[in-house]
Amino acid sequence: MTDPRPPQPEQQQSMPGLTEPMDPRPDHGETSYQGSGKLSGKTAIITGGDSGIGRAVALAFAREGADILISYLNEEEDARETAKWVEEAGRKAVLVPGDIGDPAHCRLIVDRALEEFGDLHILVNNAAHQASFEKIGDISDEEWQQTFATNIHAMFYLVKAAEPHLAPGASIINTTSINADQPNAHLLAYATTKGAIQNFTMGLAQLLADKEIRVNCVAPGPIWTPLIPSTMPPEAVKNFGKNTPFGRAGQPRELASAYVMLASDESSYTTGATVAVTGGRPFI
């Protein structure tokens, strides 16, 4: 399979970005991912499940046998498209829009999953907010607070709500980033939260080990998702992914197998780990 390489065509979107206008269109594994029953009978919450990495994970989980609750902000068109792929795999898709920066909404997400599925086996904390700034003085207090509310506070709210309902063998998977190890100065708020997510993951893994609830994270490198043309300047979009040894951005489908592995019972002794999917960029 030949994946697109930079330069990408000139393109910009308003935040939070949509899949349809992107050129090239991201590959979520629609025609390539083949399931083998690794998650048969399981249920999952995926935040940011409407597009990008979240859509690829939802598609893969469904083809592995899981029912999916798709949490998203307000991208209705993208969310319905993801639900279509989940349902085509023969699994149940539940759409829940709203702001995960609100603790009450996080509790609603967990309650809705339990209402729809009866139990909960997997929580994927994937949703993220980012924006680019040249100077620290350009970052408003509100922007800083929103980034932390979406990227790290929501993980705490969701885990706290879900934990009493997770049985031994359950899996929590958090999306961190290569920015946790190699922070992009122009993504200061975002990169700071991604470092916090990795630390949160490692601490939480120890805290929940006695319940045999596994907690891990995936650290993507540059991945071609709607977040890129909607939050980065034109030149950065054009050359996005060029700074990897592979010389290109990753496609969302190239992340899905890492999440499936961490969600499956085959990873029963893996907790507190970070799986880096970076196109060859070093991650310590």
CB 28 within 8 A of CB 86: no
Candidates 157, 190, 259, 269; catalytic one: 190
Residue 14, sorted as left (phi over 0), alpha (psi -120 to 50) or beta, turns out to be beta
CA angle 225, 228, 229 (to 5 degrees): 110
Q: Tell me the C-alpha distance between 154 and 219, whole Å.
A: 18
Sort strands 67-72 and 93-97 into parallel, antiparallel or unpaired.
parallel
Q: Tell me the C-alpha distance between 176 and 142, whole Å.
A: 22
202-to-123, 126, 127, 168 alpha-carbon distances in Å: 16, 16, 19, 18
Residue 190 catalytic?
Answer: yes
Closest CA relative to residue 158, chosen from 176, 180, 177, 174: 174
Give the torsion through C-alpha atoms of 40, 43, 48, 52, to 10 deg. 10
Q: What kind and span of H or E run contains 189?
A: helix 188-207
Closest CA relative to residue 193, chosen from 88, 101, 283, 93: 101
CA 198 to chain centre: 14
Q: Longest Cα pair distance anywhere in the chain, in angstroms?
A: 51
Residues with active-site annotation: 190
